[in-house]
Amino acid sequence: MLLEYLPPYMREYDEMRRICQSEDPEITELKDSTEVIKKEFFTETAEGEGLIRLEGILGITASEGEGIEYRRFRILSKLLGSRDSLTQCLDTLIPDKGYSLELDCGELTLSVRLPLKNSMYLSSVTEMLERTVPVNIKLGVSLLYTLHGELKKYTHGELHSYTHKNIKEELYEQ
């Protein structure tokens, strides 16, 4: 195995072939261990230590009779089932479902936006999300203001009676 990495002229030396042959079993074992570690890193392929570690992190107690597929299912359901429980928490905290929730799985971002009338909930919602959302997901909590594109439906004459603050804060809620 290591012999393949040597330049052709060095492969001819008996000493180099012996050195490479003596190191091959260790390199093969290292390569196999690396493959096992890569496999245990992902829930979908983990079979041993990776499952045990994830179960410990998530507080799942597995019995000896449970199969690997069922253990994976329990881990994934706890990880993926959090969106529904998150919306339930937000519904409890914020009256009238006064928020928007966007989860971008590709970019691993979660955006929660509250209307200005619910600004008093901002710090509590941020604190709750920081405790519940996994740390690998980038979290963004902000207030909803009137966006420039939303003003297209108004004429300059209609907007003339408003201040910038009114436009930014009050037109959104209409």
- Give tens-digit pLDDT for 76-100: 767 765 566 777 777 777 767 778 8
Q: Which residues contact 151 (CB under 8 A, 6 or more apart)?
A: 159, 167, 171
> Residue 171: its pLDDT value, please?
52
Predicted TM-score (pTM) of the model is 0.44
> Residue 84: its pLDDT value, please?
64
Residue 19 host element (H or E):
helix 14-41
Please tell me the distance from the alpha carbon of residue 169 to that of residue 162, in angstroms, as a whole number.
Answer: 11
58: nearest Cα among 78, 44, 85, 86: 78
Please tell me the distance from the alpha carbon of residue 82 to that of residue 157, in angstroms, as a whole number.
Answer: 47
